[in-house]
Every structure is written in C-alpha cells, then in structure tokens.
Structure 1
Amino acid sequence: KVYKKVRDKCVSAIRGLCTYLYERTGSFDWSDLSTYTGISGILFVSLRLRNDEQLVQECRLDRFMNEINTHVAEVFRRRDKSKLQKNISVFTSNYTAPCLIGALSEHHNKHSTLGMEAFSAYVKCAKYAMNEMPNEALYGRIGYLAGLIALSDAGYPVEQETIHLIVENILREGRYLSQKIGKRRGDYEELVQNRPDAPALPPLMFKWHDKFYLGAAHGFAGILLTLLKVHEKLPNALPEGSLEELILPTTKWLCKLQQPSGNWPSSLGESLNRDRLMQWCHGATGIVPLMLRAYKVTGDEEYLISARRGADAIWERGLLTKGCGLCHGSAGSGYALLSVYQNTGDAKYLTMAAAVALWCADYFTHAERTPDRPLSLFEGLSGAISFLFDMLQPGKAEFPLIN
C-alpha cells in the first residue's frame, strides 16, 4: 500500500490538474489528434480515470468526464487518413490514434457502434505496415503493434496472423540491416568506436534517420520490449526460433552496452562514449523495463542486475528540467522505478517512485520549462496525471502503450 500522505497528495494533485485541463478543453488543438502530443493522448489517460468510479467521485470529475465522452466521439469523427501510407504509429498518426481511443472508450460495451467501428478501422491499417516505414515506436511499425496489443488486452478480437506478419516484417528488416553491416569491414567497429570491450554485432540492427538509437522512443529498447510482450501474450505470433535466435541475443547485446554509471548511451557512434541523457526516449528510463521483461522471460540474473543499476542511476538523475511529463520529464522516471518495484517487490524502489510522485504532484512548481504541448500525454501534464493515478495502485501501474 502507498503511504496515506502520498495517496492524499496524489489525489489532490489529480483533482487540481484535471480541473486545470477541464478549463482548457475549449482550446485543444484539433489539428493534432495523436497520442504523443495531441488530443488522443489526453483522452487516453482520461479514459483510464473514467474507469475508476470511486476516484471520479472523490475528485469530483463528473463534468470533466462528460466533456471527455463528447471529445472521444469527435476525435474519431475527425480522424485523418492523408498520411496513413507512411505513418500508422498510434503515437503520432492522426488516424490510428483516434481509432484506438474510440475502441478503448467502448471496450466494455460489445454492442457499441463506435467501439466496433473504431476497432475495425484500426485493424484495417495493418496493410500499410508492409509499406516502407521505420520500425521504431513513435513513427513506425512498433507504434502500430503497440496499439494492436492494447486492443487485444481490451478484449477485441485481434487476429494472431496480423501480428505475425508485422513482427515478421520487423525481424526481416532488422536481420537484413545486421547482415549488411557485418559484410562491410569496419562498419560495426566504427559504430562501437573500436572499443575492445564492445559486444559482437547482434543479429538485429535498427536505425531511424540514419542513427542507431538505443532507447524506447526511436530505438532498440522500444522495439525489443514490444516483441517480448508479443512473446508473452501471443507466443505463436512470433516466427519460429526468433525469440532465441534474434530477439534475446539482441537484448543481451543492449544489456552489455550499459555504462559504468548505470545509464545507457542514446545511440551508437559518437554518442556511445557520452553519458548525458536520462529520459524515457533516450537512456536508462526507457531501457530498464526491457531488462525487467527479459529477466521475466529468461530468469537470467544479469538482466535483473542491469535493471537495478539503471534504476539507481534514475534515482540519482531522474528529476528532469523539462518538467513532469513522460517522455523527457520526471513522470517517466517514476514509471521506471515503479517497474523495478513491481518485478522485485523491493520497497526501496516504491519509496523512490513515491518521492518522484510527490515532486510531480507539485506540477507547476517543478515544471521548470514549459513543454511545447503543455497539456499532452508524453510532454505535458496528462503524463503527470497518468503517473499520479498509477501511484494509487502501484502494483498495477503501466506506462502508456510501451510497457
């Protein structure tokens, strides 16, 4: 259980932040329907709150929830398919994000026209995953796959074959890039800065905008974490042998790139020797959950040790100057600490997460820099609301979508 003082502070902050959000619903930017920076992200966390009737009553959020219900239907109506051929990620697409929100809003009502129409519209986008696009989370296939898993978790009939085809495409491209690098003498050595202690070239390699990012948003961590999640929930959706031959060896490779501080570099190449960023998008905050899931799948203690080292580094450096959001803010740090608590039962990490929650609860005091999208899920106060809500039941906490 969370200490009463922490719970009371979180509830009070949720009430205040939701009131602030409610007062600004009229100024929402309807040109951005995404989950990452737009309206769908705000609705995502609001729907989670709506499912907790006791909290809605305690925080007196009835009017706010009525407004949210109206916005769910409107955001689905305004979905925009103009860029679907290049981007189906639920994080940044103005089409798949509203579809996901529409489906999740009605997942308890199997007779809902909106829910089934939104679900159908989402799964029809799977065909675009065969187009040329990145594999990472924010703009690529993993961002779409994360939405499919969320729909499956919500009880919608996602076909295993659909997931299999997307996973197969991701693995094919990752394997091809690794083989291409391996054939060109000196390429991999340059990427690892000719370090004598560098691990061997992994069987999967991924890049975004010509950089080999390691973190959760654009890199290996988000891709591998989602693939391991597919293994746990739908093991037959993975191509035969891919877990042992491709996914786990690449995860072990990433584990071995951990720095002495407990953090990870943001990318291969020149950044490999830098220890600068400690965020969900770049650094330990987004990689620790991968280490924990790998430990859960394999029982390999090296992953658990790595996760603990990463969490201790987050505790030292995780109160960030970009505010209290998820992507490059303190709420992301809190989620990483909670994930270690969930997987170890070590109350030390719950205490650390609670301290971060108290920091985030004073949102406007500690948001040192105003985010570009101050109300959003991944940059702004909706992310803080999500973390504070999960602190009320820390054993059930889940980072949105990539968890």
Structure 2
Amino acid sequence: VPDLSNFSGKDIDRSLLCGHAGLLCAKLMLSRAAMSARVEQFHDIPPQSRIVSEYLAILDAALESDSDEWLYGRAGYLHGLLLIRHASDTPQSVDDAIDKVVRRMISSGTSYARRCKSHASLMYQWYGGEYLGAAHGLFGILQQLLLARPVLELKWSQKELADFDETVRGSLDYLHNQRIKSSGNYPPCRGHRDDNLVHFCHGAPGAVLTFLSAHRTYSSTATNDHKYLSMAHDAAECVWRYGLLHKGPGLCHGIAGNAYCFLALQRDDPTNNKWIFHAAFMASFMSTLPQDKEWLLRPDHPISLFLFYFWQN
C-alpha cells in the first residue's frame, strides 16, 4: 500500500475509485485481513483507528464538493463511510459523518431538482449532464442513500425519515418512468432516449442493483408490495438480452459488471435459479473470450481493478 502523505488535493481526496478515500478503504481491508489471519508481512499497515481518522479528515472536502455522483463525488465517499462502519469498530464520529454527507446530498439534489424543474424529487448534474446511471448519476446516488438508511434510523426523527423515504421513493419512481419500454433499458441522461448503453455505469445493470436495495429497504410481506423487485427483474431481462458487450470483460462497461447484477439477484431472489445460470454463462463466455478479435475493444487500462482483468477474475 503506497504512502499517502503526498497524495492529496480536494479534487481527488474524496474519490472512492480514483483518490485518497479508496486507498484508505483498501488499507482498512488489508488491516482487517492481516489481523484475522495474523499475517506478519502486513506489519507496516497502520492501526484501524488511524485509517478511520484519516478517512474522516477528508469529510470537509466531500461536503464542499460540487459533485454528488459515485465515482468521484459524495456518493462514493459515503460508500466508503459505510464500508468503514461495517469493517471496523465504529466510532460515533463515523455515524455523524454519514449523517452530514446524507443531509448534504439530499439538500444538493432537492435544490438542483427545483432549479432545473425536474419531475424527480432529486436530480444532480455532473460536468453539465444530468446523468441517471450508477457511476455518475441518480441510480448510483440513490443506491448509497438507501444503504445509509439504517444509520439514519439511529439519528433522525420519524418525520425526517418519512420525508427521506418520500424523496427517495419519488426519485425511484421517476427513474422507472424513464424506462425504454421496447428494450427495458434506461437512458444515460435526463431528456435523452439513447438506448445503446447496457453497462453498470449507464443503463439497466446499475438499475438492477439500486432497485434491489430499494426492495430490501421498502418491500413489505404484509402488503405483498414487491414492486422494486419486479423492477429489478425487468432491468435484468434487458441485461440478459443485450449484456454481452464488445467492450470486454471489465466491471464499469464490460461483461463482468453485467454478470454481477445476476449474482446480486441470486442473493436477493434465491428461489429463482435462473440468475445464477445467467451469471455462470457470462463467466464462461469471458473465460473463453479470444482477445485478438477485431470487434473486441481494448480498455484504456487493461490490468486495472475496475476496467478489466481483476474484476474479470
């Protein structure tokens, strides 16, 4: 794990995938693994309390950011906070940070939705585009807000939680209304009807993961209300029909990212074995994929964790 002392700057500190925040999360995972396995070669990893303190030191940069999306913005930083909460002895300061980030994200999204006259309760923009997908847009932001809700239950009043749920569920319903009926896919941006991106970052695969989180949060066996699971199923059928991509086996915009949504469905819908068969088929396809085919595009970073071989494995 590299020395992070010179790796700083508000523009990248909070980025989970490309910045200081992600490296600190990796350090925490290594520390946890080393402690459980008593692996001596990781003796130079700092204690977990110090890693958590370093992560919380980025909080102000995250709150001041003009970005809420997952890859570079507040949603990614929130993802890291939730990871830290799960993987370490959680100090109260982590829950306090989650509270602050969620409030900032809700405030940012409602304010922008009013300014741009969106029909959604929440709307965000990134580099001038009002993205809907998991990496840069509303699906990814809602995913992290849903995952943070158990923490909010400990800190928020019933009125605040009810307002949160109304805002989030209204945004989920808005997204479902953007579904392209002919394919079951989702457009990359508000106001666009492009139907050629079936990726984790843009399109139906990211929708599957967010609707599954909504199902876990809001489904009710008492009223047989499983509409978000049904939405996830519909998006997954699109992934199955169109998800063998020319862009290779990476996670962000490749076959591995599309296969991952089937693994998530199998976890949340274990009575339906077709999801694991879909995932296995895509894994088999990746394992036999000839790399010399002209139609197979080569990623910009072919040995990276997010774009190619490591997620394929």
Same fold (TM over 0.5): yes
Q: In structure 1, which of residues 224, 229, 232 is the aligned counterpart of residue 142 of structure 2?
A: 224
How many Å separate the matches in 2 of 1:79 and 1:347?
48
Quick check: 1:267 aligned with 2:189? yes
Quick check: 1:329 aligned with 2:257? no
In structure 2, do the counterparts of structure 1 residues 315 and 208 end up closer, same or farther at CA, with 3 Å as the change threshold? same
How many Å separate the matches in 2 of 1:79 and 1:354?
42
Corresponding residue SS for 1:107: helix
**1:213-362 residue pairs with structure 2 within 5 A?**
213-232=131-150, 235-237=153-155, 239-260=160-181, 261-269=183-191, 271=192, 273-299=193-219, 300-345=225-270, 346-362=272-288
2:84 corresponds to which residue? Answer: 151
How many Å separate the matches in 1 of 2:47 and 2:165?
40
1:128 corresponds to which residue? Answer: 61
1:373 corresponds to which residue? Answer: 301
Q: CA deviation at 1:234?
A: 5.0
Q: Deviations over 1:170-200 (max 9, x none)?
A: 1001111112223xxxxx4xxxxxxxxxxxx
Corresponding residue SS for 2:72: coil
Contact 1:278 1:285 in 2 (8 A): yes
Unaligned runs of 5+ in 2: 37-42, 220-224
2:40 corresponds to which residue? Answer: none
Contact 1:206 1:219 in 2 (8 A): yes
Q: CA deviation at 1:221?
A: 0.6
How many Å separate the matches in 2 of 1:114 and 1:370?
39
Corresponding residue SS for 2:278: helix
Q: CA deviation at 1:86?
A: 5.8
How many Å separate the matches in 2 of 1:98 and 1:86?
11
How many Å separate the matches in 1 of 2:5 and 2:266?
38
How many Å separate the matches in 2 of 1:308 and 1:97?
31
Corresponding residue SS for 1:113: coil
Unaligned runs of 5+ in 1: 1-71, 183-187, 189-200, 386-403
Contact 2:263 2:279 in 1 (8 A): yes
What is the root-mean-square deviation in Å for CA atoms of aligned residues? 2.1
In structure 2, do the counterparts of structure 1 residues 284 and 168 end up closer, same or farther at CA, with 3 Å as the change threshold? same
2:222 corresponds to which residue? Answer: none
Higher relative contact order (CA 8 A, sep 6+): 1
In structure 2, do the counterparts of structure 1 residues 262 and 323 end up closer, same or farther at CA, with 3 Å as the change threshold? same
How many Å separate the matches in 2 of 1:246 and 1:236?
19
Q: CA deviation at 1:240?
A: 3.6
1:23 corresponds to which residue? Answer: none
Q: In structure 2, which of residues 120, 125, 130 is the aligned counterpart of residue 207 of structure 1?
A: 125
Contact 2:152 2:161 in 1 (8 A): no
Corresponding residue SS for 1:92: coil
**1:68-83 residue pairs with structure 2 within 5 A?**
72=1, 75=2, 77-78=3-4, 80-83=6-9
How many Å separate the matches in 1 of 2:113 and 2:17?
26
Letter in 2 for 1:229: L
1:34 corresponds to which residue? Answer: none
Letter in 2 for 1:289: L
2:30 corresponds to which residue? Answer: 105
TM-score normalised over the length of structure 1: 0.68
Corresponding residue SS for 2:185: coil
Q: CA deviation at 1:204?
A: 1.1
Corresponding residue SS for 1:287: helix
How many Å separate the matches in 2 of 1:171 and 1:366?
46
Q: CA deviation at 1:309?
A: 1.3
In structure 2, do the counterparts of structure 1 residues 210 and 236 end up closer, same or farther at CA, with 3 Å as the change threshold? farther
How many Å separate the matches in 2 of 1:127 and 1:80?
18
How many Å separate the matches in 1 of 2:81 and 2:14?
11
In structure 2, do the counterparts of structure 1 residues 351 and 308 end up closer, same or farther at CA, with 3 Å as the change threshold? same
Corresponding residue SS for 2:297: coil
How many Å separate the matches in 2 of 1:253 and 1:274?
17
How many Å separate the matches in 2 of 1:316 and 1:171?
35
Corresponding residue SS for 1:241: helix
Corresponding residue SS for 1:312: helix
Contact 1:89 1:142 in 2 (8 A): no
How many Å separate the matches in 1 of 2:128 and 2:71?
15
How many Å separate the matches in 2 of 1:170 and 1:99?
22
